[in-house]
Amino acid sequence: MRLTLVALFSLFSAIAGFSQLSQYCIEGRFSETPYFEEADILVDSNVVYGAAPRWPSQVVDTLRMEVYYPSLDADELAKRPFIMLIHGGAFLGGNRNDMRNMCRNFAQRGFVAATMTYRLGWDCDPNAGLLICLLCGNQANKLPVAVYRAVQDARAALRFVAANAEQYGVDTSAFFVGGTSAGAVTAMQTAFFTQQEAATICPYCVEQIGDLDNGVNDIQATYQIRGVLNNCGAVVTLGILNKDLPVVNFHDDLDCVVPSQYGHVLGCLNCQAFITAHGSQPIYQHLQSQETCSELNLKMLSLNHCSFPEITVTNRSACFFKRMMCGECASATNNNEWAVAPCSDLAVGVNDPVADRLPFRCYPNPTTGQLTLTLAEMPADKVVIAVYNALGARVYASTESPAARYELDLHTLNPGMYWVVMSYGSLTGAQKVAVE
């Protein structure tokens, strides 16, 4: 069925409505396999994007990033999607270099990727380990400050990249954020937080540290986040998930560092000193309930933390984002540690050697269920009408007598994007339709 969908894309790739990012639906690129050789990837190191006091300490941290990008000499695209990858470490430790391999892998797949430092520490020994509850439980009120501060740094880093988009060949309307553990917590809150929502977990942060989108640097630049990679992260409340923003999730089922369900972070050995959060499973369920595309990769009965192989995380995330850019984003679950559904063959503009084009009008679009199809000329033969969902499954089919107008009742379909296909004789045409 994938070949059918590729053919349909080729028929109507000029229709702007099917995906705002359809220009990145390129065969072989942004997929589970590298598109560029390692030698084609450039790295700008130690790029300073801001500086700020560490609070509650007055020590000023100079904040840096590494940017990985395909050379414009090797790349046919002048602008590329961008992804910021944020390291973990309980907001106590870790280093931006922890994400460099993943950055390089994303860059080889055609993205521009960066890894950033952010301000660490909340009056807890980074080596506390399983004794963290005993040694740091009385400092638990400072952990939300560290989360807020990391989000402030991440947004400053994104503004820096947006302001320097031309230098790196970045499309500011195609930003993604992701991370591991604390980095994933930061990425999720960076993508979804409003200032008001951030104040609910840290009501004194604005006074002490400043607004989320101020401080760190004085850059004023805009960007649009299109999706999130959540590798064993969480959100402080499901209420912030009120944007139609796709999320790909990875988690160990019985993780006690960051819960995959709902519970206390750093909750191993029944520690209940720290903030509660919603992990990947309720995130996925909540996004499903509001019909936002999401994917849940879950290692069942695993007690580990962030144990999905890095290459699996990279490949599945790249394909998740590509399907989104191609207009084929579909919610799914996967409990296999290694298997990756390929996406390298997805492309817009692939020549269709078989079908002659059949233009028809399809309205209203979006539709609440009733859809009218009209042909410019009366067909000479019976007309076959079919509707396919984003996964390529046929959800409606009928054979109709020749007519210039047809009415379809799609009220039984779930809201989402669908392909409507009409054919008679050797002629075939397709339109993408949103059902609300």
Give 106-150 pLDDT, tens digit per residue.
999 999 999 999 999 999 999 999 899 999 999 999 999 999 999
Q: What mean pLDDT is predicted for residues 276-304?
A: 96
Q: What is the pTM of this model?
A: 0.78
Q: What is the pLDDT of residue 348?
A: 62
**What's CA 230's distance to the chain center, in Å?**
8
User: Which of 171 and 345 is assigned the larger pLDDT?
Assistant: 171
Q: What is the pLDDT of residue 390?
A: 63
Rounded Cα distance between 408 and 398, Å, is: 10
Q: What is the pLDDT of residue 391?
A: 57
Residue 198's φ and ψ, nearest 5 degrees, are -65, -35
> Which among 307, 278, 265 is positioned nearest to 132, based on CA atoms?
265
Confidence of residue 215 (pLDDT cuts 50, 70, 90): confident
Tokens of 393: 């499954």
Q: What is the pLDDT of residue 392?
A: 61
Task: Find where tokens 């054919």 sit.
Answer: 423
Task: Find where tokens 């230098």 sit.
Answer: 167
Structure-derived torsion over alpha carbons of residues 82, 67, 101, 86, reported in degrees to the nearest 10: -70
Residue 257 CB neighbour total at 10 angstroms: 18
Sequence spans of domains, the chain? 20-334, 356-435
Least confident of 19-23, 42-46, 88-92: 19-23
Q: Which fold would CATH assign to domain 20-334?
A: Rossmann fold (3.40.50)
Same fold, 20-334 and 356-435: no
Rounded Cα distance between 66 and 289, Å, is: 37
Rounded Cα distance between 111 and 121, Å, is: 31
The correct CATH number of 356-435 out of 3.40.30.160, 1.10.620.20, 3.30.365.10, 2.60.40.3080 is 2.60.40.3080
Whether 256 shows a pLDDT value over 90: the answer reads yes
Q: What mean pLDDT is predicted for residues 202-224?
A: 92
